[in-house]
Amino acid sequence: MLRKYRFVLDADGVLLNFDRAWRGCTERVLDRRMEVVDPVYDLGARYGLPTASVAKAWAAWDVTEGWRRVPPIQEGITVARMLLDMGHSVTVLTCLPNEYAEQQRRWCLDRWGLSGAQMIAVRATKKGGLSQCRPHFFADDLLVHCVEARDVMVPFIARIRYCEQEETPDGIHEFGGLEEAVGSFFRQVGYPLPRLG
């Protein structure tokens, strides 16, 4: 019998394309095209928007149930479903602003076939969620959460390249997507490599 592993995955930037949804919503409400001016996490800085425009965009986001409409990152969803099918445990550890966003995110994950995945929502740090899950594998696009995972001794940490461009510190692996990251993990632990995709 093959060993089962615990996978903890971030949502935005790994499974779901929040950036595309937020930009689309903001372009509609501001009635103009937007380009990334600085590839950073902060949305105002990323798109060169003043605070008032960001506030207006978030108001429109809430009214149009933005969290529910975030599209999938197909590769991430496919890999997460495969892990569940293989009998591994998958927890989506996601940072969200409120309970309403949590409900909509859960709906979204179910919609894309991840009803078998547990979801833990946090407001800021992911350290508590990571300590609770004790994953063998953690993937996130934000370096700050990858560093938190390293602090709580997660053995395999995959930083998925998304928007930020800082250098990845020691103990954290960098990948272009979840498929590559999970493939690397399975090779490292000597697990027979499944056919992905």
Rg (C-alpha) for the chain, rounded Å, is 17
Piece of 13-21, 38-46, 70-78, 83-91 that binds Mg ion (CB under 5 A): 13-21
Q: Rounded to the nearest whole angstrom, what is the least distance from the CB of residue 190 to Mg ion in the complex?
A: 29
Segment 65-124, which members bind Mg ion (CB under 5 A)?
none
Q: Among 10, 53, 91, 106, indicate the residue that binds Mg ion (CB under 5 A).
A: 10
Q: Among 7, 12, 47, 73, indicate the residue that binds Mg ion (CB under 5 A).
A: 12
Binding of residue 19 to Mg ion (CB under 5 A): no
Binding of residue 148 to Mg ion (CB under 5 A): no
- Calculate the alpha carbon distances from 121 to 4, 75, 99 in Å: 24, 22, 9
Residue type, 90: V
Ramachandran sector of residue 31 (left: φ over 0; alpha: ψ -120 to 50; beta: rest): left
DSSP string of 15-56? TB-HHHHHHHHHHHHHTS----SS-SS-HHHHHT--HHHHHH
Binding of residue 13 to Mg ion (CB under 5 A): yes
3-state secondary structure at position 119: strand
> For residues 104 and 194, which CB has a smaller minimum distance to Mg ion in the complex?
104
Binding of residue 141 to Mg ion (CB under 5 A): yes
Kindly state the helix (H) or strand (E) to which residue 94 belongs, with its residue range. Answer: strand 89-95
| Shortest-Cβ-distance residue relative to Mg ion | 13
Binding of residue 177 to Mg ion (CB under 5 A): no
Q: Rounded to the nearest whole angstrom, what is the least distance from the CB of residue 141 to Mg ion in the complex?
A: 4
Q: Which residues bind Mg ion (CB under 5 A)?
A: 10, 12-13, 141
